[in-house]
Amino acid sequence: MASPIYLRGAQGLWTIDGAKFSADATAQIDPSNSCKCMVFSDDGSLFAWCNADSAFILDTRTMEVVHDLGLPKVVAMKFSPKGTVLATWNNYAVTRDNAQGSPNLRLYDVKSGTLKKALMQKKQINWDPEWSTDEKICVRNVNNELQFYENNDFDTIANKLHLQKVSSFGLAQSSSPCAVAAYVPGTKGQPSFVRLYRYPNFAGMQSTLANKSFFKADRVHFYWNKPGQSLIVLTSTESSESSYYGDQGLHFLSTKGESCLVPMQKEGPVYHVEWAPNSQEFVVVHGYMPAKTTIYSLKCEPVFDFGTGPRNVCAFNPQGNILCLAGFGNLAGNLEFWDVKQRRQISKTQAADTTHFEWSPDGQHMLTSTTAPRLRVGNGYRIWHYTGTLMLQTFTTDHAELWQAKWRPSAPPPADFSISSRPVATEVVEQPKAKAAAYRPPHARNQGAATVATKPLQEYEPPSNAKAQGGDKAMSKNRKKKEAKKAKAAQEASNPKSGGESESGSAPAGGAASAPVNVVSTGDLDKDKKIRNLKKKVQQIENLKEQQASGKQLEKNQLEKIKTLDSILSEIEDLELS
């Protein structure tokens, strides 16, 4: 059954029953139009919000306010994993009488509502402390060092990890002793790097579990799997020579010491990364539009390719049996629901103008919303069934703004369920949308349709089993090797040479046999040998061009080699004619 939905906007703070699929089943929590933020505890039993006057904690089981913290102008809030501590952040400010500023990061005991500790945190970026799931460890970044607290005792710093100019970190969301990743940006030609440590072992380089260095990184995002054993690091730059949006890179590290670059299946940016709930696979949406979506194993090997499409985000439901692929922002708002086990598409629909979406805890419904300030018109929310059925559609009245919409979490998530592609019953009637006319340049708008030349749209790639595809490639490669070996043996039988060498006097590049090169004799042995070597280079360049056409990203020296094709062909022609 779908959980309640909490909404925050210019009309106040209210909730609706997400299971009744009716906007009439509402209950107002706060009529104030100055609610700046709201947050749930992980199990959904606690809810906190603030307005211009104070911050409050609500028990969602009784719908009673248990604490009024008396703290105005709160900008951000966060519960610890077990809901025992509430962290709040206010804007940092200095006055003429207080040039040092006042503490603006506060940690409250949820049970008593009392203030445990007040700390200084000037920037809102990475303001929030991070806890292990059992709350035995808490960590925050202070002046180029990570400070660790134990058992929510914030009066004593239990341990420190000092790294020069460490800018961000990621604590594994698992029980202690857990791993922590620290990122240090590069300077003066030195690469940036990420290092993994196991708390509390921070002494010396021998304590480093894994290390990965890279260039082209202005910021990083950490994606830990649930056991806290594998980490995906998404690096990005502000801008680059090839793209206004910068360059992205994807790296894999594990607490076993493994580290590697995740191989992309298509050139272009990385839009989204998501771990499967089983923590054995992860999904990456990447490549220039239409983007490619690929599932990878823990060995960073492609497992399944969802093909290409207008997508830039992905999300597993809590049970992990359905994956939603979507395209928002400047895309049309497509929603694709896929059966993860069967690797098949269940349904497809469109949620235009979506600024936020998330799965319901029951794993069968999805909430999409159009919120301000991203979009200030058409604010509202929709509830969808995974079969693509629209269950509820509501817009704010009097053009009032909606700022946030969220399901109330529930723990533990419901058990797995059987998936059906049959649409469910609904009372919502979707309004048909007018089809947009094809774009015509100004000079052709008064001409007939037949006179306007149109460029065909790029075709989408269908989904495919990456493992089977890799197996076919391997079989094809082995078959080519065997055929080349037979051809070489036949050639040596007709023109034997000592030492099993090819006619050029050297083994083929890479140690693998290649197809024989047919050369018409010019009567000059040295000239024939040179022509044969040049034609082998042509073959190698043709192979590189085929790899490039298939989407493989080539190295810089390989790209330079392709550029020499015309000069090599010209040289062959001159030798054959002379």
Mean pLDDT confidence for 489-512: 45
Spatial strand order of the sheet with 46-50 comes to 37-40, 46-50, 55-59, 64-68
pLDDT confidence of 166, banded at 50, 70, 90? confident
Helix (H) or strand (E) holding 365: strand 365-370
Whole-angstrom Cα distance, residue 272 to residue 367?
Answer: 19
- Report whether pLDDT(519) > 60: no
Is the bond preceding 463 in cis, omega lying within 30 degrees of 0?
Answer: no
Please name the fold of domain 139-309. Methylamine Dehydrogenase; Chain H (2.130.10)
- Report whether pLDDT(471) > 60: no
Query: To which residue do tokens 């402390």 refer?
Result: 129
Judged by phi (left if over 0) then psi (alpha if -120 to 50, else beta), residue 333 lies in left
* Closest-CA residue to 384 (of 313, 437, 336): 336
**Amino acid found at 94:** V
- Report whether pLDDT(4) > 50: yes
What predicted TM-score, i.e. pTM, was given to this entire model?
0.74
Give Cα 346 to chain centroid, integer Å: 22
CA distances for 305 relative to 126, 291, 326, 347, 464, angstroms: 34, 11, 15, 17, 5
Give Cα 29 to chain centroid, integer Å: 34
Domain definitions of the chain by residue range? 139-309, 475-515, 517-578
Beta bridge partners of 38: 49
Reduce the DSSP state of residue 485 to 3 states and report it: helix
Of 243-252, 279-288, 430-439, 507-516, the poorest mean pLDDT is in 507-516
Could you report the per-residue pLDDT of 30-45, keeping only the tens digit for each? 999 899 899 999 999 9
**Amino acid found at 452:** V
- Report whether pLDDT(515) > 90: no
Name every residue whose Cβ is closer than 8 Å to that of residue 259 and which is 6 or more positions away in sequence.
210, 211, 212, 251, 252, 253
Asked if residues 228 and 255 have their Cβ atoms less than 8 Å apart, the reply is yes
